[in-house]
Amino acid sequence: MDVMVLNGDGIGPEIMNAAIKIINKLHENFGLNINPVEYDIGAVTLDNGKWDLDHILDEARKYKAILKAPMGDPKLRNTGGTEKALDVILSLRFNLDLYANVRPVRLLPGVESPLKSYNNPDSINYTIIRENSEGLYSSHFGGLVLRDELAIDNQTITRKGTERISRFAFELAKKTKGSPKDGKKSVVCVDKSNVLRSFAFFRKIFSEVSSRYDEIVAKYMYADAMAQHMIIRPDELNVIVTENMFGDVLSDLGAATVGGLGFAYSGNISDNMGMFEPVHGSAPDIAGRNIANPTAMIMSTSMMLDWLGFGKFSKIIEDSLFNAIRSGVRTPDMGGNATTSYFTESILKNM
């Protein structure tokens, strides 16, 4: 099966290289039938006109799964490359209707959490479901600045969008083991329904959907309270469902509790397609130095294989990754001095 691979910018090609090596080894040693088709798409190639949006979307529609490295290069901010890269990221999510952004917040074995009381594997293990097709970010292609005096963006929440994302969250909760604390399965609806009507509507639709899931507890929390909860009681969480921008912000917070952005992986999922990528960006401050942590890229690959029905292979990836980390191999963000290539070689050796 062909999979579209987007190499991105900054550390993108470095961490994608790690993922491709692992896919190739799974092919050679265990017969995984995945053929990565690489596309050199990122702010740089968008800036020089090699790719345009429609062309990328036409290509993307040929695939069931996309593996994506981070895109964006602040150096190209004035020439437009980075704006175009953001257009590509958002267009892939919006135009391909990848409405569920699934972002696990999981303390992997061998990784340290800065939250001292939760410092053992699986004491933090929940998933943020970020609505990915509407919310405030849907204003990206429509915001308005008037006479350099006033700027307006609109938040869109639809019944259809909220129903399907709520259903997605409850269906996911069904498949989990519940919260680390007591194994209870729950979905928390995160919003600011006290302040904005659009959020009150979000909450109302969520509540309607929840009545169809007796076996799962439906909970409600305001986004600011959730930010605190994720730090002081992360073990009580199982599944969170929230609006686009809240999901974006809260998932970086979640990442910090499980070792940093290098460990935050994700899937953007529709009813028939999936795009898998790290939560983090192209990390221009460390690009080109072979020191990026490729874990998020590798875990995104594992998530993709699992979603495609190759769960056996994703288990091989995770076991060998965890073994490498447990044996003490650490990139600088984890407090060690392993290079990206050394880290990757250690995983390959463990396979």
* Residues lying near ligand NAI in the complex (CB under 6 A): 11, 70-72, 74, 82, 86, 89, 261-262, 277, 280-286, 292-293, 296, 333
Q: Which is nearer to ligand NAI, 292 or 338 (CB)?
A: 292
Q: Which is nearer to ligand NAI, 32 or 89 (CB)?
A: 89
Instruction: Rule CB under 5 A: say whether 9 interacts with Mg ion.
Output: no
Q: How far is the CB of 248 from ligand NAI (least distance, A)?
A: 9
Q: How far is the CB of 262 from ligand NAI (least distance, A)?
A: 4
Q: How far is the CB of 116 from ligand NAI (least distance, A)?
A: 22
Using only the alpha carbons of the chain, give its radius of gyration.
20
Instruction: Rule CB under 5 A: say whether 191 interacts with Mg ion.
Output: no
Among 9, 248, 277, 306, binds Mg ion (CB under 5 A): 248
What is 166-227 written as a DSSP string? HHHHHHHHHHS---TTT---EEEEEE-TTT-HHHHHHHHHHHHHHTT-TTSEEEEEEHHHHH
Q: Which of ligand NAI, Mg ion, none has residue 256 at its interface (CB below 5 to 8 Å by kind)?
A: none
Q: Which is nearer to Mg ion, 203 or 277 (CB)?
A: 277
Instruction: Rule CB under 5 A: say whether 243 interacts with Mg ion.
Output: no
Considering only 16-24, 183-191, 245-253, 291-299, which stretch makes contact with Mg ion by CB under 5 A? 245-253
Q: What is the DSSP letter of 113?
A: P
Q: Which of ligand NAI, Mg ion, none has residue 241 at its interface (CB below 5 to 8 Å by kind)?
A: none
Going by C-alpha positions, the residue among 18, 64, 10, 9 that lies closest to residue 39 is 9
Strands (DSSP E) found in the chain: 2-6, 35-39, 65-68, 100-106, 125-131, 144-146, 150-152, 186-191, 217-222, 239-242, 265-269, 274-278
Q: Which of ligand NAI, Mg ion, none has residue 283 at its interface (CB below 5 to 8 Å by kind)?
A: ligand NAI
Which residues, 6 or more positions from 48, have their beta carbon under 8 angstroms from its beta carbon? none
User: What CA–CA distance (Å, rounded) separates 24 from 235?
Assistant: 36
Q: How far is the CB of 139 from Mg ion (least distance, A)?
A: 16
Asked if 202 and 153 count as a contact pair (C-beta separation under 8 A), the reply is: no
Q: How far is CA 211 from the centre of its chain?
A: 28
Q: Which is nearer to Mg ion, 14 or 248 (CB)?
A: 248
Amino acid at 162: T
Q: Which of ligand NAI, Mg ion, none has residue 104 at its interface (CB below 5 to 8 Å by kind)?
A: none
Q: Which is nearer to ligand NAI, 246 or 310 (CB)?
A: 246
Instruction: Rule CB under 5 A: say whether 73 interacts with Mg ion.
Output: no
**How does strand 125-131 pair with strand 100-106?**
antiparallel
Binding site for Mg ion (CB under 5 A): 248
